Amino acid sequence: MDGDTPLHYAANRTQDAAIIESLRNAGADVRERNDAGNRPVDLAWDIRGSAAYWRLVVPEGVLVPGQTVDSGLDSLDAVWDDGVPYEVWSVTARTAGQRVVIEMNSDDVDAVLRVLANDGTEIATDDDGGSGTNARVDFRATGTGDYLVLAKSYEAGETGAYSLRVR
């Protein structure tokens, strides 16, 4: 397709996570769209569920317990079907049954958190469970491994800074 970046080509043609990781480390942007409006992950049909696929899906990074990360929702972020921007992070459960608490705080957006298992099953969701319009999810991991954390706003077009913390 016209406007494809090397990451678009790799997403469409390889199952090798090392190639995708190498491109990401070299500065390839997983959010960049080609002329047809597709991000690399949108072309990754043949690698869904692979390690390479998850490197495309989790553009923001890994959340580490005890650390706070600052980010922001903007016009470059993916948009949910309802027009709401979101960013994707991951958090790792070391044991089944591990308690995971994630907080999303913002003065700019009405914060919403969704946690998904790698198969897409929703594990937890929250809007306003923190103070004010901040979000907080508290769940027990159903198994070991990575969980996807979607940080989003409540309203379509709502953008601004936020922070995430895992306890």
Enter the tokens of residue 159: 């953008």
Q: Exposed, middle or buried by CB within 10 Å (0-12, 13-18, 19+), for 62? A: middle
Specify the pLDDT at position 139. 96
**3-state class of 87 per DSSP?**
strand
More confident residue, 104 or 1: 104
Which residue do the tokens 């016209």 mark? Answer: 2
Rounded CA-CA distance 123/121 in Å is 6
Is 1's pLDDT higher than 60? no
Specify the pLDDT at position 51. 62
Q: Give 49's Cβ-side CA count (13 Å radius).
A: 3
Is 144's pLDDT higher than 70? yes
Radius of gyration of the chain, Cα coordinates, nearest whole angstrom: 16
pTM above 0.85, yes or no: no
The residue type of 27 is G
**3-state class of 21 per DSSP?**
helix
Residue 17: partners with Cβ closer than 8 Å, 6 or more residues away? 50, 51, 52, 55
Rounded CA-CA distance 1/36 in Å is 8
Is 65's pLDDT higher than 70? yes
Is 76's pLDDT higher than 80? no
Per-residue pLDDT tens over the stretch 92-132: 899 999 999 999 999 999 999 999 887 778 999 999 888 89
DSSP label at residue 144: S
What is the CATH architecture assignment of 6-57?
Alpha Horseshoe (1.25)
Residue pair 71/109 in contact (Cβ under 8 Å)? The answer is no
Asked: is 61-166 a CATH 3.40.50.300 domain? The reply is no
For residue 43, give Cα distances in angstroms to 40, 83, 91: 5, 21, 25
Enter the tokens of residue 121: 């099953």
Domain map of the chain by residue range?
6-57, 61-166
Is 16's pLDDT higher than 70? yes
Quick one: pLDDT band at residue 54, thresholds 50, 70, 90?
low
